[in-house]
Structure 1
Amino acid sequence: MALKRMVLQIGMGTDIRGGEPTKAAVRALRDALWHNSLTITHALGLDADSMQVKVTIGVPRPEQVDRDAVLAVLPHGTGTVEVVEGGLMIPTEDGRGVTLLAQAAAEVFLDLPEGGAA
């Protein structure tokens, strides 16, 4: 058996006024996931919870992201989260806040027999 990347999903999320990195990260992962319906596990005769999902979040102030809150977005499978420096912080017009943008990449892996599908 070998882990094979089957899907790459990408998304963007924002916190318009609060500048909260976790809120933007969660929204970015939802954006990546909620525009898809993955039927690959069904097509291969596997349980949806057999998916292993590697989530990468790019956001300003990565140390402030609650990784557990991001992982809680995953509807199936098990996941890991890596948070890296990225995204954007755009100051509000009055200078008292920021709009924060985060990007998410969700890579879905399945453990498949060498040389083919299950």
Structure 2
Amino acid sequence: MKRFIIEFGMGCDFHGQDVTKAAQKAVKDAVSRSCLSGLVEILNITDLSDGIKVKATVAVSRPDEVDIEKVKESLPVGEKEVIVTKGGLSVSGLYIPEFGDKDDTIEAALACVEVVIK
């Protein structure tokens, strides 16, 4: 297996303190800056669902609360793997109960997305 792409992304949940939402946004941010043209144009891969593994490592303040299956939905192609680790950032923001806030914190997540050719 060889890595073809490594990209980083950041995502925040400003209201609601949902680490899964922050993780999803971080993964989508990394994916949005990646183009798989080399897989098609150089390696001649015609089926992006076969022979490709996409691994997302996500760092959040409360890793045990992340819904891994929801984060996998942020990965568009390939065999999907999500690893969650302790990290990210939780900082003081605004407390607006009407927005779903439980407290005044903002949750930030950092993601590394890797595309691997099997």
* TM-score, normalised via structure 1 length: 0.86
User: Residue type matched to 1:85 in 2?
Assistant: K
Which of 86, 90, 109 is the matching residue for 2:116? 109
Match of 1:29 in 2: 27
Deviation at 1:93, TM superposition (A): 5.0
Q: Secondary structure at the match of 2:111?
A: strand
Tell me the alpha carbon deviations over residues 18-38 of structure 1, each in whole angstroms, 9 at most, x when there is no partner: 111000000000000012221
Tell me if the contact between 2:24 and 2:71 (Cα under 8 Å) persists in the aligned partners.
yes
Identity %: 35
Give the distance between the partners of 2:114 and 2:13, measured in 1 at CA: 24
**Structure 2 unpaired stretches of 5+:** 96-101
Match of 1:116 in 2: none
Match of 1:99 in 2: 106
- RMSD after superposition: 1.5
Map 1:1-118 → 2, pairs under 5 A:
3-43=1-41, 44-46=43-45, 47-49=47-49, 50-92=51-93, 96-111=103-118
Tell me the alpha carbon deviations over residues 78-113 of structure 1, each in whole angstroms, 9 at most, x when there is no partner: 1111100001000235693210100000111002xx
Tell me the alpha carbon deviations over residues 27-82 of structure 1, each in whole angstroms, 9 at most, x when there is no partner: 00000001222112212111212310111000010000000000011111011111
Tell me if the contact between 2:23 and 2:109 (Cα under 8 Å) persists in the aligned partners.
yes
Q: Secondary structure at the match of 1:24?
A: helix
Give the distance between the partners of 1:93 and 1:34, measured in 2 at CA: 28
* TM-score, normalised via structure 2 length: 0.86
Tell me if the contact between 2:14 and 2:93 (Cα under 8 Å) persists in the aligned partners.
no
Give the distance between the partners of 1:52 and 1:93, measured in 2 at CA: 39
Give the distance between the partners of 1:14 and 1:75, measured in 2 at CA: 20
